[in-house]
Structure 1
Amino acid sequence: MGADDAPPGGTGNGVGGAVLASAADQGVAALTNIAVVIVAARQATAADFADFAIAYTIFALLLGAFTAYVGQALVLRRGGPAALGRDCRASVTFTLLASLPLGAALALTTPLAPEYGALGAVLPVLLTQDAMRYAFAVLGRPRLALAVDVLRLALAVGVLAVQPAGAGPERLVLAWGLSALPALVFGAVLLAAVTRGAGRPTAERLRALLERRHLGRRFVVEFGVGNAASQLAIVGLGLIANPLAVGALRGATTLFGPLNVLFNAATGFGPPLLNRLTGLGSPGRKARSAGLAGAALAGIAGCWALALALLPDAAGRQLLGDTWDAAAELLPATGSQYAAMALGTCGLLALRVLTPRATLGVQLVFSLLSVACLLVGYALGGVVGAAWGLVAGSAAKAVASWVRVAFEVRVSFTLRDRRAAGREAGAS
């Protein structure tokens, strides 16, 4: 077996340790996002945090798109250490090169919105540092990703915490973005070490990421219809209607951040785990297992919402500062939304196992419906109405997902019965 055919990783620490390190890294990355929003909310006025929240939502959209296009496609790559090393170097380099013009475009908006200009200045740093997480994952080195992200968390919280009270949104964005620079350098050094001998990314390998057959194209479409549409609608509310609405919605959803870790784990680890648990079991068994997982996640969401509802106002203001009062009004709706999202996430998980091509249609139709519900809710009831509109959209997607799961299970049973009848007819 040649060097390019050897299995990746080579750490000798076992699959279990790698899974734990990957889960811990997801948790640290999610905690960083939560901590950044909470510390920024404490340091800024409600109006300034609303402007910061819009910039942060724009970053979240771009991060999701790059993750779908580059990261999710990268982790599906196969090959030996040298081939994977070249793929990882190419993906990280592509992220850096592609983020530079996007950052420059945002920087041009500085005279109109300084916080967007600040985001443009730090965007390549933030996106490239995150891309390294997927590179380490595909190389079988999740512990290195965890080490880099722990450094990122410590620096982000520390740098934001020392900003003066009342710091403007552009200063908060710059402080948050530049705090990722040491983690970027540290990650680059580690990546260069573990991919030594892989060579520099060639123009051909970089162009391959722009080809029509690149899987990232499909993944970014799913991201666009599944998540980006509602996020763009929220940004639109801030730009056209009321920036404070974005701050309130961002503050409320940040408090449910730990549940996002569970949802991401269900999406990432769910399909192989579900197949492993059910083996070659019937589609009905797979659907029931996914349904139980969805019910458990919905129960956790309900308990978390209840705990937040009982949180004293003084403690809430310690978390979100001036934004707490507006965010607290949204907690019942946001808790209901996360319970519906839990059921919908596991419904889509079941579909990925049963009929992977069925997820895109559900995402497309019901994500657009969620945007419509958000806008109608805002028109009827302001920010609280918008939050309940998101509940309606998430509930509709959950119902549609499980209706499609039931249909696929019935089809599989019908096909099984027909095959059995055909075998009996052939035997007679």
Structure 2
Amino acid sequence: MRARTAIVCSVADQGVAALTNILVLVTAARLSTLAEFARFSAVYLVFTVLLGVSGAYTGQPLVLRRGGTEEVRGACRSAVAFTLLAAAVLGAALAGVCLLVRGATADALMALGFVLPVVLGQDTMRYAFSTLHLPHLALAGDVLRLVCVLGALALQPHGAPAARLVAVWGLAALPALILSAALLHRRVAGATVRPGLLLRRGHLGRRFVVEFAVGNATGQLSVLGLGAVGNPLVVGALRGATTLFGPLNVLFTSATGFGPPLLGRLAGERRRVRAAALLAAVLAAGAAAWATVLALLPAPVGRRLLGDTWPTAAALLPATGSQYAAMAVGTCGLLALRMLDPRTTLAIQVAFSLASVAFLIGGYALGGVQGAAWGLCLGSGCKAVATWTRVARLANRSAAVRAPLSAGAARPGESS
């Protein structure tokens, strides 16, 4: 596939995935009461954490694979097999624990456990298609998922419990899983399946999981913690605001997961860094423009989007919009670092993600939900500055190393 076509298909696929994510939450908000949406949001947040862990452990190392065709095909089959097995074990354990706990939230988590292999398996196949340079097949699966999921949720009655919505959302992705599996099987049939390799010491996914844990999951779990020890509605308020930025959130996550195969087509480190910087500018401008559009929405339109959650979510739009602009810059900086040296990102993730949690908690203590939102924004801004500072240092160091080599190469008559 030509580079331009691959980029168009990959961007379209991320757009469809983003649209699915935001419409699922919007539909749930419209179908649910404020309390039920808070419950659904909490469970969906748990799924988001598990999805990120799965992508970090299996997907991100997969898209960095280099080697012969047979080796890459085998790696794709192994990653998918490992994800299905791990999701089945984890889902069964989650459902089993929730059977012992009474309550609507436990029921929703149990439903998540049952559908976990479906949703995680389909996502890993997206990474496999990207690795094989077949993003149009990932796009086909995601379009089918969008249609099936939204169609199934639209048939649910108003006031449906969170457990029912979670079950319907997960099972509706089954046709997309089947289609993706059929398309992938045609490309990787016969390749060696060795899922045990992903458990070996030195697997790059372990480092990426640590980065995800401190870079993404820590903040999300902190929001859950604030809801548990403080006001439970804080989860619905913050999630309602971030739901409105769902497309950008998916694009940020996809940048580090699906960006390397696309940027890898560019020759030279400087071109890749410039492309990442350009992407950061575009995404940051998009976040600012989208925040402006949302802020200008009339209240009746906002209520049609998020129902009873709209007033609290609308009040957080300035802080959340600023946070997403900063996240765009920081995420693209991490993508540039991943291309320059993937081992340099861990220290930044640890330091500034923990700082973001501190800003979140401190902001909540000083200003409630508004303070928590601005705390997250401050943390994202600090991480963005640190990330691009590191990119500049690595790029300058690489240029300094290449300069004497080029000078020596220009005098072939001299011996070393």
Same fold (TM over 0.5): yes
Aligned to 2:20, the other structure's residue is in SS state helix
Instruction: For 2:19, give the aligned amino acid.
Output: L
Deviates more, 1:186-195 or 1:27-36: 186-195
Aligned ranges 1:269-284 → 2 under 5 Å: 279-280=267-268
Question: Partner of 1:45 in structure 2?
Answer: 33
Instruction: For 2:140, give the aligned amino acid.
Output: A
Instruction: For 1:384, give the aligned amino acid.
Output: Q
State whether residues 54 and 238 of structure 1, in contact with CA within 8 Å, keep that contact through their aligned partners in structure 2. no
RMSD over equivalenced CA pairs, Å: 2.9
Question: Partner of 1:114 in structure 2?
Answer: 107
Cα pair distance change 1:328/1:368, threshold 3 Å: same
1:166 aligns with 2:153: no
Instruction: For 2:82, give the aligned amino acid.
Output: F
Aligned ranges 1:124-273 → 2 under 5 Å: 124-198=117-191, 201=193, 205-264=194-253, 266-268=255-257
**Structure 1: tracts of 5 or more residues without a match:** 1-12
Equivalent-residue separation in structure 2 for 1:91 and 1:353 (angstroms)? 22
**1:368 aligned to which of 350, 354, 363:** 354
Cα pair distance change 1:77/1:345, threshold 3 Å: closer
Q: CA deviation at 1:414?
A: 6.6
**2:317 aligned to which of 331, 338, 345:** 331
State whether residues 22 and 244 of structure 2, in contact with CA within 8 Å, keep that contact through their aligned partners in structure 1. yes
Question: Partner of 2:52 in structure 1?
Answer: 64
Q: CA deviation at 1:353?
A: 4.4
Cα pair distance change 1:76/1:241, threshold 3 Å: same
Cα pair distance change 1:156/1:293, threshold 3 Å: closer
Equivalent-residue separation in structure 2 for 1:141 and 1:422 (angstroms)? 41
Q: CA deviation at 1:222?
A: 1.5
1:382 aligns with 2:368: yes
Cα pair distance change 1:343/1:303, threshold 3 Å: same
Q: Deviations over 1:69-113 (max 9, x none)?
A: 111122233445544333322221211111122112221224332
Q: CA deviation at 1:128?
A: 1.2
Instruction: For 2:118, give the aligned amino acid.
Output: V
Q: TM-score, normalised by structure 1?
A: 0.86
Identity of aligned residues (%): 60
Q: CA deviation at 1:133?
A: 1.3
Deviates more, 1:160-169 or 1:238-247: 238-247
**Structure 2: tracts of 5 or more residues without a match:** none
Instruction: For 1:357, give the aligned amino acid.
Output: R
Instruction: For 2:64, give the aligned amino acid.
Output: L
How many residue pairs are counted as aligned between the two chains?
407
1:31 aligns with 2:24: no
Deviates more, 1:108-117 or 1:33-42: 108-117
Equivalent-residue separation in structure 2 for 1:299 and 1:339 (angstroms)? 7
State whether residues 333 and 391 of structure 2, in contact with CA within 8 Å, keep that contact through their aligned partners in structure 1. yes
Q: Deviations over 1:137-175 (max 9, x none)?
A: 223332222211111111111111111101111111111
Equivalent-residue separation in structure 2 for 1:37 and 1:162 (angstroms)? 15
Equivalent-residue separation in structure 2 for 1:325 and 1:92 (angstroms)? 42
Q: Deviations over 1:182-222 (max 9, x none)?
A: 222222233333333336x3xxx121110012121122111
Aligned to 1:357, the other structure's residue is in SS state helix
Q: TM-score, normalised by structure 2?
A: 0.88
Q: CA deviation at 1:377?
A: 1.3
State whether residues 58 and 235 of structure 1, in contact with CA within 8 Å, keep that contact through their aligned partners in structure 2. no
Equivalent-residue separation in structure 2 for 1:83 and 1:91 (angstroms)? 12
Question: Partner of 2:281 in structure 1?
Answer: 295
Aligned to 2:98, the other structure's residue is in SS state coil
Cα pair distance change 1:320/1:275, threshold 3 Å: same
Equivalent-residue separation in structure 2 for 1:72 and 1:36 (angstroms)? 25
Q: Deviations over 1:257-306 (max 9, x none)?
A: 222354346435656766766x557x6x8766654543343222211111
Q: CA deviation at 1:27?
A: 1.6
Deviates more, 1:78-87 or 1:209-218: 78-87
Instruction: For 1:116, give the aligned amino acid.
Output: L
State whether residues 63 and 260 of structure 2, in contact with CA within 8 Å, keep that contact through their aligned partners in structure 1. no
